[in-house]
Every structure is written in C-alpha cells, then in structure tokens.
C-alpha cells in the first residue's frame, strides 16, 4: 500500500462523523429563538407587573385614603376606607343635576387582569407543545440522522472506490464502472429527498405555527382594547367621591352624602398600563415577522446540502409555495444547526468547491472527497483519449 493511499485512508476516516444516536433528543430545540423570547415576554411580563401590584398593595396597606369627617373615630375611618374600596365608584352630578355613578373597578381588578393576560398568552405555547412538538421532534430526529448518515455514506463510498482503484489492475475497467454507476444513479440515496418532498404537501405544522402567532396577535389586540376602553377612562383620576350612606347608614343625618377619597396606587396603575401598551406594541412587529418569514425559503441551508447525492431540491426546482411543513422544518433545522454535525463539514467543502479550479467536475461531496483522496473526479484525459483511439 502506497503512502499516498494510506494518507487518503486516514483523511477519509477522519471525515466520518461520530455516532450520536443516544444524546440527540435532549439537545433538540423545539422552539425557535424568537418564539422563546416572545414566550418569556408575553407571559413573564404580566406576571412581573402582577407581582409589582401585589407588592405595592401589601407594602402600602390600603390602596385608597379617604378624608373622613373629623368627628369619625379611627374604626369609623377604617370602615369608610373599606366600604369605599369595596364599592370603588365615583359619584358625580351631570349637567342636568342627576347623580351619575362611574365605576373604578379596573384599579381593583388590576392584578387579576394581569394574571388572566399571562394565562391567555400561555395558551399558544400550550397549543404548540401538544399539537406540534411530538411530530416535529420525530421529523427532526429522522432528518438530522439521515443527513448525517447520507454524508457518512458518501465518505464510505469514496473509501470503497479508493480500495477498488487500488486493487484494480486495469484503470479502464475502474473508470468504466464508475461512469456506469454515476449514469445509473447508484450513488444516490433518495429516501430523505422524497421524505422532504412529501413534507411540502403537508400543512399540519405550518397551520399550528400560524395559529400560534395569530392567537398572540388576537390576545395582543384584546389587550389594546381592554387598556383603551377601561384603563384610559380612569387613567388620570386620582380622587373620587364615595357614598357610604347605604344600608343602616342611609337615614343617618350626621353622615355626609359624599366623602372624597384618593387612590394611593394610581402611580402603579399608570406604570402598569403604560408599560403594557409599550411592550405589546413592540412585540407586534416581531409576531408579524414570525409569520412573514414563512413566505420565503431558507435556500442557503438547502444549497449546502445539495452537496449530498440525491439532495437536489433546489437544482430540480422542486420548491413551490413556501407555506408548508417543509419550510417550518427548515427553520428548526437552522435553529438546531449545532446538532447537524455534517453541516460544518459540508459548509467547508462548499467553500473549497467555490475556490477550486475544477468546478465543472465537482457536484457532490463524493466528487470532492474523491479529488481530495487523490482520484480524478472523472476519467483522466489520457485514458479517455486512449479509449477513443482503441474504439474510434
């Protein structure tokens, strides 16, 4: 065995990928980075504001302070605060002199409305977890495994070709067999390509993904309506007139008709309302971007894997409308690029392929590794000329 042949064997052995069959499931990312950020912000931010509202309520005591008459005892003043907080209604006279009652219940419902918002924003996450993640994890495990296996098969094929070439006494026979194998497409393993082509006709994953983001937009719009309709109406009202002449106190003449109260928690209410409106306004373009990126293919990832035999979705123009499961899978393959060991090797080979002087002879990783192993990717010119002279 020659030194060059031994060096080629070592090079091809090093190019083989290790088997990581057991540890792959733990490392899979089944949420895109942008979706993870959306989840933490849309769910975590209301919970943070809710804790702020509860902390203010527990630290400051009563969220309102009423100006009771001077002849009221401490217990009577505490009763006025409690009664006005329970009713939380502003009594005022309109232009006709009729008494109107304006409810200030958004102040009381603030922590619970934030909790309801957090629960609503978590529903799209649950939808994705239960409706899409099981099928997606299965698809990713199969595709990642097949991509790496296809790369390894190509390397082992070059190793086999090198051994045959070393044992072959007649180079014409070797090159004739090699050209026949390429012509008959023996080097191709079309299972993965056909599986991905089938995924173009499937729409369950993309429908779930679109529904997830559409629900986020719907709940965000509902949040705007809630803030605009209920919070804006009481946003600047710090004082209100409260009536405690109800029940047993209705006929008491020493009890005033209205007592002025002040909302001590108004600043927290305003901070929560403003910050919620700002944060969810910022998130709307992010959600829309999440939806619109399904309208284009990630062709860079596909172009790199075109180096594998029988993986020519791009060159055969097999890609149609991008709104299908295959596009979602490609997004998650990009997110799990660290699990694709073959990607870094193929990326390097693509760069080397673009810089080589024999571009027209290199189509797949088999051709390139054949060249690196010291074999011509096609029949040498002197052998082709010799065969032509013998059989003109």
H runs (alpha helix) in the chain:
3-15, 24-27, 33-60, 74-87, 105-131, 133-167, 171-183, 191-199, 204-226, 266-292, 299-305, 325-335, 341-355, 365-372, 381-390
Is 293 a residue whose pLDDT tops 70?
yes
What is the 3 state secondary structure string of 37-101? Answer: HHHHHHHHHHHHHHHHHHHHHHHHCCCEEECCCCCCCHHHHHHHHHHHHHHCEEEEECCCCCEEE
Q: Is the pLDDT of residue 387 over 60?
A: no
In a domain, 101, yes or no: yes
State the chain's mean pLDDT as an integer: 77
Average pLDDT over residues 352-360: 60
Supply 292's token pair.
């619109």
382 belongs to a structural domain:
no
- Lowest mean pLDDT of 2-16, 195-209, 256-270, name the range: 2-16
Residue 204 lies in a domain: yes
pLDDT tens digits for range 173-188? 555 666 655 554 545 5
Q: Is position 81 within any domain?
A: yes
In a domain, 96, yes or no: yes
Q: Is residue 27 part of a domain?
A: yes
Helix (H, G, I), strand (E, B) or coil at 241: strand
**Which residue has 């200030």 as its token pair?**
104
89-93 and 64-66 strand pairing: unpaired
Look at 161-170, 243-252, 295-304, 366-375 and tell me which has the smallest mean pLDDT: 366-375
Q: How confident is the model at residue 383 (pLDDT cuts 50, 70, 90)?
A: very low
Q: Per the domain annotation, does 385 fall within a domain?
A: no
Cα of first residue to Cα of last residue in the chain, in angstroms, is: 35
Please give the tally of structural domains in the chain.
1
pTM for the predicted model, two decimal places: 0.80
Classify residue 388: in a domain, yes or no: no
Domain of residue 173, residue span: 3-375
Q: Give the number of other Cβ atoms within 10 Å of residue 41's Cβ.
A: 17
Instruction: Please list, in sequence order, all residues whose beta carbon lies within 8 angstroms of the beta carbon of residue 70, skipping any fewer than 6 positions away.
Output: none
């Amino acid at each position: 065995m020659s030194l060059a042949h031994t060096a080629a064997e070592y090079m091809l052995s090093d190019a083989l990928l290790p088997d990581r069959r057991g540890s792959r499931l733990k490392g899979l990312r089944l949420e895109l980075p942008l979706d993870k950020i959306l989840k933490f912000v849309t769910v975590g931010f209301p919970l943070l504001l809710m804790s702020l509202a509860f902390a203010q309520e527990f630290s400051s005591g009563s969220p309102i302070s009423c100006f009771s008459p001077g002849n009221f005892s401490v217990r009577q003043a505490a009763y006025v605060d409690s009664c006005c907080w329970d009713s939380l209604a502003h009594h005022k006279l309109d232009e006709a002199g009729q008494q109107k009652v304006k409810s200030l219940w958004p102040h009381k419902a603030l922590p619970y409305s934030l909790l309801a918002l957090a629960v609503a924003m978590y529903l799209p996450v649950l939808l994705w977890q239960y409706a899409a993640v099981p099928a997606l994890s299965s698809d990713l495990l199969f595709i990642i495994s097949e991509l790496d296996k296809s790369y390894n098969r190509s390397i082992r094929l070059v190793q086999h070709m090198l051994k045959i070439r070393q044992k072959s006494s007649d180079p014409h026979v070797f090159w004739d067999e090699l050209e026949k194998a390429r012509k008959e497409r023996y080097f191709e393993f079309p299972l993965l390509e056909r599986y991905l082509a089938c995924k173009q006709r499937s729409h369950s994953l993309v429908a779930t993904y679109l529904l997830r983001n559409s629900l986020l937009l719907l709940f965000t719009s509902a949040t705007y309506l809630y803030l605009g309709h209920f919070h804006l109406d009481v946003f600047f009202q710090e004082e209100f007139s409260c009536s405690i002449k109800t029940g047993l106190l209705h006929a008491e003449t020493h009890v005033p008709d209205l007592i002025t109260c002040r909302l001590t928690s108004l600043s927290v209410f305003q901070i929560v309302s403003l910050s919620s409106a700002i944060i969810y306004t910022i998130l709307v373009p992010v959600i829309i971007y999440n939806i619109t990126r399904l309208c284009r293919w990630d062709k860079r990832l596909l172009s790199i894997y075109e180096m594998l035999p029988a993986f020519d979705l791009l060159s055969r123009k097999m890609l149609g409308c991008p709104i299908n499961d295959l596009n979602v899978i490609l997004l998650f393959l990009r997110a799990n690029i660290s699990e694709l060991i073959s990607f870094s090797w193929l990326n390097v080979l693509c760069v080397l392929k673009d810089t080589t002087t024999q571009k027209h002879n290199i189509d797949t990783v088999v051709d390139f590794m054949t060249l690196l192993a010291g074999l011509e990717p096609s029949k040498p010119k002197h052998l082709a000329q010799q065969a032509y002279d013998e059989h003109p």
